[in-house]
């Protein structure tokens, strides 16, 4: 379709990426698009001083490199440059970030030292055993006292029937 315009953009990108500094490449691309620093800052939601520091390659005025990488990607996208390549060049020219180290959360000393889990488990089991003995004591006492009297030996094949109580005759007083 519009091959002349797309090849012109490719030529412009190649000429801009071929320059030495990242800031100079971004400044050239911004000027080719007739954008002012304030317009770029407003579009990227950044301060104009950050855009100026990026274009001047002023590392001292820039925040941490991880933020600058994001700024470079956004700026490059805005002016039509390959953002990933700019970030790669930025990482290659800048000092390497310190290696990341994993630091575990700090453990605060408890106000009262807690006993071990084994001790807590032993105390709970002892309490449960004590409660069980306390609840079972009346039942065991009745069994022990009930066996102390006469014991009747059951004969095989015969069922022991409960004793029969005779009822007293009722008197009809309600008439």
pLDDT tens digit string along 122-174? 999 999 999 998 888 888 888 877 776 555 666 666 666 666 777 766 666 55
* Residue positions counted in the chain: 175
Whole-number Å distance between alpha carbons of 28 and 117: 69
Q: Which helix (H) or strand (E) holds 142?
A: helix 117-147
Q: Are 3 and 11 in contact (CB under 8 A)?
A: no
Whole-number Å distance between alpha carbons of 64 and 49: 15
pLDDT tens digit string along 81-122? 998 898 898 888 866 666 667 777 777 776 777 778 888 999
* pLDDT of amino acid 130: 93
* pLDDT of amino acid 136: 87
Of 162, 142, 139, residue with least CA distance to 152: 162
Lowest-confidence pick of 20-29, 45-54, 121-130, 160-169: 160-169
Q: Check: pTM over 0.85? Answer yes or no.
A: no
Query: 9 falls in which pLDDT band (50, 70, 90)?
Result: very low
Walk me through the domains of the chain, giving residue ranges and CATH numbers: 10-93 (1.10.260.40)
Whole-number Å distance between alpha carbons of 132 and 168: 44
Q: Are 54 and 72 in contact (CB under 8 A)?
A: yes
Angle between helices 37-44 and 48-55 (to 10 degrees): 110
Query: 61 falls in which pLDDT band (50, 70, 90)?
Result: confident
pLDDT value at 63 more than 60: yes
């Amino acid at each position: 379709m519009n091959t002349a315009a797309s090849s012109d953009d490719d030529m412009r990108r190649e000429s801009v990426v071929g320059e030495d500094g990242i800031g100079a490449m971004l400044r050239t691309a911004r000027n080719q698009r007739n954008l002012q620093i304030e317009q770029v800052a407003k579009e990227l939601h950044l301060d104009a001083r950050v855009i100026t520091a990026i274009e001047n390659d002023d590392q001292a005025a820039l925040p941490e490199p991880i933020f600058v990488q994001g700024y470079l990607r956004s700026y490059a996208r805005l002016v039509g440059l390959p953002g990933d390549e700019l970030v790669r060049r930025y990482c290659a020219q800048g000092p390497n970030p310190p290696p990341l180290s994993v630091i575990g959360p700090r453990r605060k000393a408890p106000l009262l030292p807690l006993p071990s889990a084994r001790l807590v488990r032993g105390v709970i089991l002892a309490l449960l055993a004590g409660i069980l003995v306390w609840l079972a004591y009346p039942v065991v006492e009745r069994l022990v006292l009930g066996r102390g009297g006469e014991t009747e030996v059951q004969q095989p094949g015969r069922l022991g029937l409960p004793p029969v109580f005779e009822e007293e005759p009722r008197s009809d007083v309600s008439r």
